[in-house]
Chains A and B, each alone.
Chain A
Amino acid sequence: MRIRWRVLGGEWKETETDAKTVGEFMRQQGLSIEEYLPSINGKLITEDAEMREGMEITFVPVVSGG
């Protein structure tokens, strides 16, 4: 399936993936679940959320840059 995703503050990307869950997708992209929180339209979702065609996920960095 194809999804759109970005790290908050960064550019949107389109990626083809076979990941079943958001957590699996994060591991594929090298995003640690300790360092990014997945969200859709500003609402948090958990990493066991199922991946669906056309999903738009924003990963919110936990580590602030201060």
Chain B
Amino acid sequence: MAKCSVCGKPAVYVAKYEGKAYCPEHFLEWFDKRVRKTIRKYKMFGKKEHIVVAVSGGKDSLAAMHYMKQLSKRVPGWEVEALLIDEGIQGYRPTTIRDFKKWAEEWEVPYRIVSFKEEIGATLDEIVMKGRELGLPYQPCSYCGVFRRYLLNKAAKEMGATVLVTGHNLDDEIQTFLMNIMRHDIDRLARLGPVTGVSEHEGFVRRVKIFYDIPEKEVVVYSMINGFFPEFVECPYARLGFRWDLRHYINLLEEKYPGTKFMIQKSLLDIVEVLKKERGGRPKKCKICGEPATGDVCRACELRILLGLMEPPKWFDVKSIKI
């Protein structure tokens, strides 16, 4: 059995891409060192911050909440809170909300829960059904992604956040990168990176991805060693999305050619830097809800209009919505 490269005790994890193995104690040390390096490299936080962690109750966001709570104990000017978006997915979200509440209370992290039903007017299950009835061409993840981002920003602002932490890891980021390439969505590519949201725009809460340089597998190891790996439940819509297949292919490549994920991320960072100069225009303010938007009306309002969850204003031409 593999031995820890630092102390020689039995290892619990082998990082093939760097040819080293770690016991629990040295894994946590190595993990912490790399997350802190990411935070410093991308200047994610200042000395005084009101940090809101976006949490779903899944392993990545629970790990982000756990990590930020621990780190904040060393920084007196940081206040950490959590924000959970309840999309309303039967058979899935109630379990993760239960896990989230349990750990938020145990780690003494104050939190707020915001639901699609109250803020958007329908649960995700109802939205998916409505979309199908209306013949809209979207997958559940498309609605979910747009409304979640919209609500995270809106609710974080209401909470007085100076920065919003998400649990996105290396795998999430490169999947999104490749998905945007495969869909030829170049404008979205320009919005990727470890720090997103335009800080000087009053409508945006800056978003940071503290696990940007951490593979998904290592977030699982972190949560297992710390004893909070949540009960495994799968979102009923997860396998319908493009991302599901794509991540499997990327994992096959990583297994055969260790280090592939980091090389994709390097390419992403170089490409995004060029694109930000070319296409990284300042966002506008949605003329309907006032939230940040790339056009005159934000995507969340467009979708609500298409779904019949919102009456369009008289000046708005519904046919202008790009489907």
Cβ-Cβ contact count across A and B, 8 Å cutoff = 74
Query: Which residues of chain B are near A47, meaning CB under 8 Å?
Result: 14
Q: Are A46 and B11 in contact (CB under 8 A)?
A: yes
Which residue of chain A has the shortest Cβ distance to B251 in the bound complex?
A34
The distance from the CB of A58 to the nearest CB of chain B, in whole angstroms, is 10
The distance from the CB of B260 to the nearest CB of chain A, in whole angstroms, is 10
Query: Which residues of chain A are near B221, meaning CB under 8 Å?
Result: 37, 44
Q: Are B21 and A62 in contact (CB under 8 A)?
A: no
Query: Which residues of chain B are near A64, meaning CB under 8 Å?
Result: 58-60, 232, 234
The distance from the CB of B8 to the nearest CB of chain A, in whole angstroms, is 14
Q: Contacts A37-B220, A44-B221, A60-B224 given; indicate if A65 touches B251 (C-beta within 8 A).
A: no
Compute how far the CA of A28 lies from the CA of B234 in the bound complex, rounded to whole angstroms. 25
Q: Are A45 and B1 in contact (CB under 8 A)?
A: yes
Compute how far the CA of A53 lies from the CA of B233 in the bound complex, rounded to whole angstroms. 30
Q: Which of B1-55 contact A (CB under 8 A)?
A: 1-2, 11-14, 21, 24
Q: Which of A32-47 contact B (CB under 8 A)?
A: 32-35, 37, 39, 42-47
The distance from the CB of B278 to the nearest CB of chain A, in whole angstroms, is 33
Which residue of chain B has the shortest Cβ distance to A9 in the bound complex?
B232
**Pick from B21, B60, B216, B232: contact of A8, CB under 8 Å:** B232
Compute how far the CA of A50 lies from the CA of B10 in the bound complex, rounded to whole angstroms. 13
Q: Are B1 and A48 in contact (CB under 8 A)?
A: yes
Q: Which of A5-29 contact B (CB under 8 A)?
A: 8-9
Task: State whether the Cβ of B182 lies closer than 8 Å to any Cβ in chain A.
Answer: no
Compute how far the CA of A47 lies from the CA of B59 in the bound complex, rounded to whole angstroms. 22
The distance from the CB of B281 to the nearest CB of chain A, in whole angstroms, is 31
Query: Which residues of chain A are near B188, meaning CB under 8 Å?
Result: none
Interface size class of B (residues with CB under 8 A): 20 to 34
Q: Are B2 and A48 in contact (CB under 8 A)?
A: yes
Q: Are A34 and B220 in contact (CB under 8 A)?
A: no
**Pick from B14, B24, B60: contact of A46, CB under 8 Å:** B14
Compute how far the CA of A64 lies from the CA of B11 in the bound complex, rounded to whole angstroms. 24
Which residue of chain A has the shortest Cβ distance to B14 in the bound complex?
A46
Compute how far the CA of A43 lies from the CA of B234 in the bound complex, rounded to whole angstroms. 22
Query: Which residues of chain B are near A37, meaning CB under 8 Å?
Result: 217, 220-221, 224
The distance from the CB of A31 to the nearest CB of chain B, in whole angstroms, is 11
Inter-chain pairs besides A37-B220, A65-B234, 9 sampled, C-beta below 8 Å: A32-B252, A32-B255, A44-B221, A45-B1, A48-B1, A48-B14, A65-B238, A66-B60, A66-B238
Q: Interface on A for B, CB 8 Å cutoff?
A: 8-9, 32-35, 37, 39, 42-50, 60-66
The 8 closest A-B pairs by CB, nearest first: A65-B234, A9-B232, A34-B251, A44-B12, A66-B58, A46-B2, A65-B238, A62-B217
